[in-house]
Amino acid sequence: MANFKKHATVGAAVGGGLNLLWQLNKISRSPDAPSGFWDTLRRIDFLEVAAFALLGTACASLPDILEPATNPNHRAFFHSAGCGGAVFYGAFGKHTERWSKEHRTTARTAALSFLSHLALDAGTPKGLPLL
């Protein structure tokens, strides 16, 4: 639980940040693309950015919800490289090409938020188990 705030903060930044980038890309590619900063800013849906930040917070918190940090050796499957690979494939595999762009974007944002937790844990002395 010691790193809950860090995991939640990074997850929120990943979720909200990716959504903001996605919206900016969509705005810049639109036929009536804005010409200036303020016009671009008015087109951003900040409620959507906030919703994705909450999604990121929830997904980044999942590993510790499923495997609480009750002792230094709490990292099992949901804190493993194998789980990270499965989550990555689930969101980025070829099968996702059949999904709508919105569903793909949401799944990928959720997955990258989850993976941010594993990336932070991988940088600790304990690292991540393989499985």
| Three-state DSSP string of 13-70 | HHHHHHHHHHHHHHHHHCCCCCCCHHHHHHHCCHHHHHHHHHHHHHHHHHHHHHCCCC
110 with 91: CB under 8 angstroms? yes
pTM, two decimal places: 0.91
Helix axes 81-92, 101-122, angle to 10 degrees: 160
Q: What is the per-residue pLDDT for 1?
A: 53
The answer to whether 40 touches 34, Cβ cutoff 8 Å, is: yes
11 close to 117: Cβ distance less than 8 angstroms:
yes
Low-confidence ranges of the chain (pLDDT < 70): 1-2
Cβ atoms of 109 and 19 closer than 8 Å: yes
